[in-house]
């Protein structure tokens, strides 16, 4: 016997991509532009910290994060968002944000709302853990189109009051994955007003917040403080994966009101997967240091300009405001990805693999996602091949 709630899950994006492409020989030297795995250097002093603290692998790690790590996270939130939090009651360390985005649903989503199964609102396309988390708690995921017409963020005014009344949680990623759109202060404030009126929580996924073109994205916690939102309404997630080129460190954070964090800590005591202590020691120092973040952002800013120059003549091209993905219009994402692979060796992700069918067609179908994570020369080569193959 198996649970029915997962019976309709599609194959995950990357096994699906391998099934699409791997039976075919690449048309050139392979260039990977699929996964958001940063290829820039991480700070070199990290290896010294690991060596100095390796003895702590013999200790069970602190479940919610060491006192020093939680303080480093709290200090970073103060510098980045202008919000003063308590390291003991308002933050918790995560083993990557995917774990937190999933377990927050387990800890915080009620079994019913108004006597009915709760709804979870999810941008479409989206980071796939949102949907699986909703299904895991028996909630109904509701997919909100995030299209060019809506500014690549959900149109909040298009959601009916009845659906909002039934909603327990709204996931919002800003800067968004895959489109690189940024929620404005007014957008966040409007969402928070709806959360207060209809009584739901906001899970703010801000993992791409430190990679941007010109203007630093406003954070949900900043807006929550400015509008006087209930601290328990907004749950912030961020990590070192993109900010510091450390996806393998698996260091993330969650921050919210004291009761929210208390409930997440309680669940984590039973089912958590804490970061090993030497990795927590690394994370302490990385959250506290900004020079490498500025240097990393400058590299991505160079690649924004590169992409704009190479794809300037492509109809419908829109460079991202932030993050490191290009969301490129095509007729059919799967057909385009397969053609590109067979003719050039460039590997991209069909947009439909990041979306779900809603009332209309999957909004990701007429797109491909290309990651700007490789070195600049390889990125330029990949984008030039992509342009010449799909758009000329």
Q: What pTM did the predictor assign?
A: 0.96
Going residue by residue through the chain, which has 392 residues, state the pLDDT in tens, using 9 for 90 and above.
778 888 878 889 999 999 999 999 999 999 999 999 999 999 999 999 999 999 999 999 999 999 999 999 999 999 999 999 999 999 999 999 999 999 999 999 999 999 999 999 999 999 999 999 999 999 999 999 999 999 999 999 999 999 999 999 999 999 999 999 999 999 999 999 999 999 999 999 999 999 999 999 999 999 999 999 999 999 999 999 999 999 999 999 999 999 999 999 999 999 888 999 999 999 999 999 999 999 999 999 999 999 999 999 999 999 999 999 999 999 999 999 999 999 999 999 999 999 998 767 899 999 999 999 999 999 999 999 999 999 97
Give the domain ranges of the chain.
4-41+292-390, 60-289
CA dihedral of 289, 292, 298, 299, whole degrees rounded to 10? -150
Tell me phi and psi for residue 141, to 5 degrees: -70, 135
pLDDT for the residue numbered 272:
82
pLDDT for the residue numbered 359:
66
Overall CATH class of domain 4-41+292-390: alpha beta
44 CB-contact burial (10 Å; exposed 0-12 / middle 13-18 / buried 19+):
exposed
Tell me phi and psi for residue 328, to 5 degrees: -105, 130
Helix 220-227 to helix 67-81 angle (10° resolution) is 70
The reply to whether 4-41+292-390 and 60-289 are identical in fold is: no
- Cα radius of gyration rounded to whole Å, the chain: 21
> 60-289, what's its fold?
3.40.640
């Amino acid at each position: 016997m198996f649970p029915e709630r997962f019976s309709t899950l599609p194959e995950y994006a990357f096994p699906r991509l391998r099934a699409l492409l791997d039976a075919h020989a690449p048309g050139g030297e392979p260039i990977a532009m699929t996964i958001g795995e940063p290829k820039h250097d991480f700070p070199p002093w990290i290896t010294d910290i690991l060596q100095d603290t390796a003895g702590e692998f013999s200790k069970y790690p602190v479940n919610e994060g060491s006192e020093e790590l939680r303080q480093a996270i709290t200090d970073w939130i103060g510098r980045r968002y202008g919000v003063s939090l308590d390291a003991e009651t308002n933050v918790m360390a995560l083993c990557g944000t995917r774990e937190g985005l999933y377990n927050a649903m387990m800890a915080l989503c009620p079994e019913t709302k108004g006597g009915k199964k709760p709804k979870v609102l999810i941008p479409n396309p989206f980071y796939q853990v949102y949907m699986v988390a909703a299904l895991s708690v028996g909630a109904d995921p509701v997919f909100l189109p995030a299209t060019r017409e809506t500014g690549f963020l959900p149109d909040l005014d298009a959601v009916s009051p009845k659906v909002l009344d039934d909603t327990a949680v709204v996931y919002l990623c800003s800067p968004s994955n895959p489109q690189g759109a940024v929620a404005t202060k007014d957008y966040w404030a409007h969402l928070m007003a709806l959360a207060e009126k209809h009584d739901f929580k906001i899970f703010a996924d801000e993992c791409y917040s430190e990679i941007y073109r010109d203007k630093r994205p406003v954070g949900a916690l900043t807006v929550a403080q400015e509008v006087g939102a209930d601290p328990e309404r907004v749950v912030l997630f961020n990590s070192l994966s993109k900010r510091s080129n450390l996806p393998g460190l698996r260091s993330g954070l969650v921050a919210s009101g004291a009761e929210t964090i208390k409930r997440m800590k309680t669940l984590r005591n039973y089912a958590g997967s804490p970061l090993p202590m030497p990795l927590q020691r690394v994370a302490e120092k990385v959250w506290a240091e900004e020079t490498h973040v500025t240097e990393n952002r400058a590299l991505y800013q160079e690649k924004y300009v590169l992409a704009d120059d190479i794809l300037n003549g492509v109809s419908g091209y829109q460079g991202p405001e932030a993050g490191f993905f290009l969301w490129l219009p095509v007729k059919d994402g799967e057909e385009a990805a397969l053609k590109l692979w067979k003719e050039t060796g460039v590997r991209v992700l069909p947009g439909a693999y990041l979306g779900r069918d809603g009332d209309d067609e999957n909004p990701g179908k007429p797109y491909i996602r290309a990651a700007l994570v490789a070195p600049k020369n390889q990125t330029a080569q990949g984008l030039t091949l992509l342009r010449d193959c799909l758009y000329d």
